[in-house]
Amino acid sequence: MAQIFTSYSDREFKEILSEQVKGAVREALHGETAEKQTAPTPNLGYRSRAETRRLLGVAYSTMHYWEKSGILVPDRIGRKVYYSDEAIAGALSRKGGQSK
């Protein structure tokens, strides 16, 4: 790992540090930043219940109904529920929807 050394005056260093701390506090108080909220979800193969709901644009009750009807089949790991990208694509094709 390369190290880069720069020289800052005390005042410049304090300003840079102050801006970084302000940004970190702002993120902590207001949750994720707009950049993080609009960043696309990486294709991991599995999505959480919340991610799937946002992706499909449906309510949790609709997902529950689709699960009971066999339209959207979840995978469970312990108590956690995940949906594979293949299951999501299959649900969209069965319902005649288009993936985003």
Stretch 12-27: mean pLDDT: 81
Cα 83 to Cα 48: distance, rounded to the nearest angstrom:
6
Contacts of 9-14 with C-beta under 8 Å, sequence gap 24+, read none
What is the residue extent of each domain of the chain?
9-39, 46-95
Name, in order, each residue with C-beta under 8 angstroms of 53's C-beta and a sequence gap of 6 or more.
59, 60, 63
Residue 46 three-state SS: strand
- In the chain, % helix, strand, coil (3-state, to 5) comes to 55, 10, 35
Q: Write down the pTM of the prediction.
A: 0.50
43 pLDDT band, cuts 50/70/90, is low
